[in-house]
Amino acid sequence: LQGVSNRRIRCNVMPVRAFTAPTISGDAVRQQEEYGSNQIQVLEGLDAVRKRPGMYIGSTGSRGLHHLVNEILDNAIDEAQAGFASRIEVVLYPDNSVRITDDGRGIPTDLHPATQKSSLETVLTVLHAGGKFGGSSSGYSVSGGLHGVGLSVVNALSETLEVKVWRNGMEHTQKYSRGKPVTKLVSRKLPADMEDLRGTCIHFWPDKEGKSFFTSEIEYDYNTIAGRVRELAFLNPKVTIALEKEHSNPEKRLSNEYSYAGGLSEYVAWLNQDKKPLHEVVAFRKEADGILIDLALQWCSDAYSDTLLGYANSIRTVDGGTHIDGVKASLTRTLNNLGKKSKVFKEKDIILSGEHVREGLACVISVKVSNPEFEGQTKTRLGNPEVRKVVDHSVQEFLTEYLELHPDVLHAVLAKSLNALKAALAAKKSRELVRQKSGLRSSSLPGKLAECSSRNPEESGI
């Protein structure tokens, strides 16, 4: 390195910044040092819900706001699943209050022996109080509610909540505010022509002081609630659900009534209404080991992704769970076995993955479990390990029998799955080729050995 010593080497030195740690006030330091019994807080009643609402409704945004509606709606559906309700009405008012009415048995109103309050006030003001904990003393064999907190959480997060119960020829009413009763339980005898009326009506106004826990504007979206109502109607064919949105302008009023006698078969047909199905909707309903399985599926030729929806006790498990895992495993294994057995696979080493098998598939599975294990109060995932085994075996048994009796459907589904496999292999080769080319371009080869970039022979010769 000749001449280096004669050259002036210029170094750019970055100035050093002094970073200072944030200071803590003397009062805060003393408070931390003096941590003792005075700093241990005990939240009574529903104060914990108002302090940390996200723990109970999943979010303090729009999703959590709509979850309040789902909690009351799920209670009404539980009455329908138990066979005591056939009609549910949901009304959205201009002041963003919601009224939900069902024709079920009605919440009990007699004195509860443990709380010495009416059972109605108990379930509205006490966490983990309800009739859905299972066992001989439970009021439901199957339910979406499990923890006994849904109704009391809605009450805690409502500026006002009014409840009406019709039972045994009587009407019982009571009013609450932010989780606390503001009136006593009032009972009156129904007129003779209304003595057979029964059910529960919950009308609530989300707390407008909600800026302390709701981060979004308090406004309910009709389409969001309609989506939930529609799927509940598909899942419960014997129930009619009416949804209405009131408005001062008659032209802006919205209403619809949802009732689907076809159940999940009609659900899958609705999902595929704008697609080209390879076959008719395939569905079965079976009870095994105390678990009721209801499934419908259909492959479409012009779809290249899958739609796999799972429900447990009519609760949408958006994060999947053991019932979804059972369906996926069974579909993959069954189609691979039938592909080899029917000799559709020309090559012995062909193995279809779950992704290839489910391409173009729309499938809905609903399970009814007496003691479901959900993850958290918002119930986004089912965790019962026994459900996977039962679902896996039931789906394989049904699908094998159906496809063996309908070889044309089997060949159509396998052909689509094989095309998906071929497309995946071709895409993989294409990606590898692109990576090889980009690797050559970025390599530090001498100019004469670099990849040719001109079609002119005079410029491309070595």
Residue 28 — pLDDT band, cuts 50, 70, 90?
A: low
pLDDT confidence of residue 17: 55
Tell me, what's the pLDDT at 4? 47
What is the chain's mean pLDDT, rounded?
Answer: 86
Q: Does domain 46-260 have CATH number 3.40.50.720?
A: no
Question: Comparing C-alpha atoms, which of 363, 364, 391 is closest to residue 293?
Answer: 391
Give tens-digit pLDDT for 39-97.
888 877 787 888 888 787 888 788 888 999 999 999 999 999 989 999 999 999 999 99
pLDDT at 441: 58
pLDDT bracket for residue 447 (50, 70, 90): low
Residues 394-406 have a mean pLDDT of 96
Q: What is the pLDDT of residue 461?
A: 58
User: What pLDDT, on the 0 to 100 scale, is given for residue 349?
Assistant: 74
Going by pLDDT thresholds of 50, 70 and 90, the confidence category of residue 138 is low
Q: Is the pLDDT of residue 299 over 90?
A: yes
Pick from 135-149, 333-347, 384-398, 407-421: least confident = 135-149
pLDDT at residue 115 is higher than 60: yes
Query: Beta partners for 102?
Result: 88, 200
pLDDT digits (tens, 9 = 90+) for 89-103: 999 999 999 999 999
Q: Are 310 and 321 in contact (CB under 8 A)?
A: yes
Question: SS3 string of 296-316?
Answer: EEEEECCCCCCEEEEEECCEE
Q: Which of 3.30.230.10, 3.90.1640.20, 2.40.10.120, 3.20.20.100 would CATH assign to domain 263-424?
A: 3.30.230.10
Most confident of 29-33, 188-192, 453-457: 188-192
Q: Which residue has the tokens 């396998």?
A: 414
CA proximity to 56, closest of 159, 147, 123:
147
Q: Bigger pLDDT: 243 or 20?
A: 243
395-421 CB burial, b ≥16 within 10 A, e <16: bbebbbeebeeeeebbbebbebbbebb
Q: Quote the pTM value.
A: 0.81
- At residue 8, the pLDDT reads 47
In the chain, where are the structural domains located?
A: 46-260, 263-424
Name the least confident of 7-21, 344-358, 379-393: 7-21
